[in-house]
Structure 1
């Protein structure tokens, strides 16, 4: 799925929840966006996969340590929105 850089915070958080749920083979309703990735069971392989998926979907470069820098889906969503805004302003 390729996203438009005009994604809303709610859409981004929902997309992240769906991605994490898919990796962990959970229903999206089971994924608490406030829970630390480590509590959800997201390991380093999935964290790196998530970083790659984010780059592909949003068209921005992110650090592979993203899941450690922003340890919850909500925090990651907020951080990504800042990166998206910065990319849009730089364009």
Structure 2
């Protein structure tokens, strides 16, 4: 039995890749090593502000080709929560 290949242009998403990308983004915004960022800590505890939150939204939209609400970081306050939301959104679209 043959497995079907994804349709051209369809991007296979992996939850851990999403988490890793988000951790890298947060670390770069904070100018800290990625190892200093914990995925289950609320982003406000790292100093999240509205500019940081909007920048994150823009970077997520650019990376995954989807629109996200400007309240993404407030509605999903940790990297883990954003990861789950993005994974669910991306796999629902596939």
State the TM-score, normalized to the length of structure 1: 0.89
| RMSD of equivalent CA atoms | 1.1
- 5+ long unaligned stretches in structure 1: none
Q: Deviations over 1:25-44 (max 9, x none)?
A: 01000001000010011211
Q: Tell me the number of residue pairs that the alignment of Structure 1 and Structure 2 aligns.
A: 85
In structure 1, distance between residues paired with 2:92 and 2:58 = 19
2:77 to 71, 74, 77: 71
State the TM-score, normalized to the length of structure 2: 0.86
In structure 2, distance between residues paired with 1:81 and 1:45 = 24
- 5+ long unaligned stretches in structure 2: 1-9
Moved over 3 A (4+): none
Report matched runs for 1:1-91 at 5 Å. Answer: 5-88=11-94
Q: Which has the higher helix share?
A: 1
In structure 2, distance between residues paired with 1:63 and 1:86 = 17
Structure number with greater Rg is: 2
